[in-house]
Amino acid sequence: AAVRCQLCPPQRALQASAALRRVSDEQKKEPLASSSQQQQPFDSHPTDHQPEQDPQGPRPSYTGQGGQESEDYESEEQLQHRILTAALEFVPEHGWTAEAIAEGAKTLGLSVAAAGMFHGDGSELILHFVSECNTKLSQLLEEEQKLVQLGKAEKKPTDQFLRDAVEARLRMLIPYIEKWPQALSILLLPHNIPASLNLLTSMIDDIWQYAGDQSTDFNWYTRRAVLTGIYNTTELVMLQDSSPDFEETWRFLENRVADAMNMGSAADQVQSTGEAVVQGLMGMAVTVSN
């Protein structure tokens, strides 16, 4: 073993990464924005030397394997994200499979073998897509909230808010609706359930947050459970809906949300009726005993 070590002196070949882009490439947009505010003439080709630009700003730096020069390259996870995003456009044709990922890698100039980085069943692609949709939804709700705060829009009643949020989120599935049943079945595989459940619950939680839910009692759980049920059933209805622009689905959604609202008041009514009944019985008992 000692002999062998002499033969391979530990020199880390500081090779420029073949496919990982320098982070500063992606940050070209940011210095342009900031420098235009400062009214400095900016280059159309900003150089890589941007001392004031912290390369670790919005991007996590890649610090694996002690290669100092790779600190301002994007990380492997970011490259994987790029490949998955590129692969989405091939999903309608190939489904949620390794072939779609391979095609996506090809459009980025990488070899098709790069698809080997991912699981063979396409689960990472689906999870990536769901997570992207959730992020988009959050951004939408955030913007709406800002408009309301600025007074430019009215605050919606809760049922309208929930309907719009669920509709907006489900509309993101429309381009992939044909292959979506396949995706759902893959998400239900045991090894994917933790991740997919996580994404679902955080999305529902997000919607309720923006709807203004501030409950601290058991209502917190009931509301989320109810909305999860509404979302899942509406999604299933959407899969077999053939009406123009999915009208049937939105009507179904409207009915379910209305049911949920009524359920709240129905529960109160049941409770007050129950109390009244109990009081009546007590009265009778007192009367009889006298």
Partner 1 sequence: AAAALCPCRLLFARCGGALRPLCGSVRGLAAGQDTHFGFQTVTEAERREKIYQVFENVAKKYDVMNDSMSLGIHRVWKDILMHKMNPSPGTLLLDVAGGTGDIAFRFLNYVRSVRERQLQQKLKHHQSLSWQEISESYKEDKSESPGDSQVVVCDINKEMLKVGKQKAQHLGYSKGLSWVLGNAEELPFDDDMFDVYTIAFGIRNVTRIDLALQEAYRVLKPGGRFLCLEFSHVSNPVLSRLYDLYSFQVIPVLGEVIAGDWKSYQYLVESIRRFPPQEEFKAMIEDAGFLKVDYQNLNFGIVAIHSGFKL
Calculate the alpha carbon distances from 197 to 188, 204, 237 in Å: 9, 11, 20
CB of 73 to partner 1, least distance (A): 10
Q: Which residue has the tokens 């009643």?
A: 157
Residues 32 and 42 sit within 8 Å (Cβ to Cβ): yes
Span near partner 1 by CB under 8 A; candidates 11-19, 33-41, 156-164, 224-232: 11-19
- Burial (0-12, 13-18, 19+ Cβ within 10 Å), 184: middle
Question: How near is the Cβ of 120 to partner 1 at its closest, in Å?
Answer: 6
- DSSP notation for 261-287: HHHHHHHHHHHHHHHHHHHHHHHHHHH
Please, what is the minimum distance in Å from the beta carbon of residue 238 to partner 1? Answer: 23
Among 107-115, 225-233, 251-259, 274-282, the segment contacting partner 1 (CB under 8 A): 107-115
Angle, alpha carbons 184-188-192 (nearest 5°): 110
Minimum Å gap between C-beta 6 and partner 1 is 6
Contacts of 220 (CB under 8 A, 6+ apart): 213
Do 207 and 179 form a contact (C-beta atoms < 8 A)? Answer: no
Q: Which stretch binds partner 1 (CB under 8 A): 50-58, 101-109, 161-169, 186-194?
A: 101-109
Whether 18 contacts 11, CB under 8 Å: no
Nearest distance in Å: CB 61, partner 1: 15
Q: Which of 41, 109, 190, 194 binds partner 1 (CB under 8 A)?
A: 109
> Cα angle at 94 between 88 and 100, to 5 degrees?
45
Element (H, E) at 32: helix 29-37
Amino acid at 172: M
Query: How near is the Cβ of 126 to partner 1 at its closest, in Å?
Result: 18
Q: Helix-strand-coil percent breakdown of the chain, rounded to 5?
A: 70, 0, 30
Rg of the chain in Å (alpha carbons)? 27
Minimum CB separation of residue 106 from partner 1 in Å reads 9
- Our CB check for partner 1 shows the closer of 91 and 207 to be 91
Q: Which of 58, 60, 120, 212 binds partner 1 (CB under 8 A)?
A: 120
* Calpha distance 161→18 (Å, rounded): 47
166 binds partner 1 (CB under 8 A): no
In the complex with partner 1, the residue whose CB is nearer, 10 or 151, is 10
**Binding residues with partner 1: total (CB under 8 A):** 34
Closest to partner 1 by CB, 18 or 288: 18
Instruction: Kindly tell me which residue out of 6, 40, 242, 287 binds partner 1, with binding defined by CB under 8 A.
Output: 6
Which of 84, 105, 162, 165 touches partner 1 (CB under 8 A)?
A: 105
Return the residue of 24, 72, 79, 204 that touches partner 1, per CB under 8 A. Answer: 79
* Given 22, 26, 30, 117, the residue binding partner 1 (CB under 8 A): 117
Here the tokens at position 162 are: 């929930």
Binding site for partner 1 (CB under 8 A): 1, 3-4, 6-8, 10-13, 15, 17-20, 64-65, 76, 79, 98-99, 102, 105, 108-117, 120
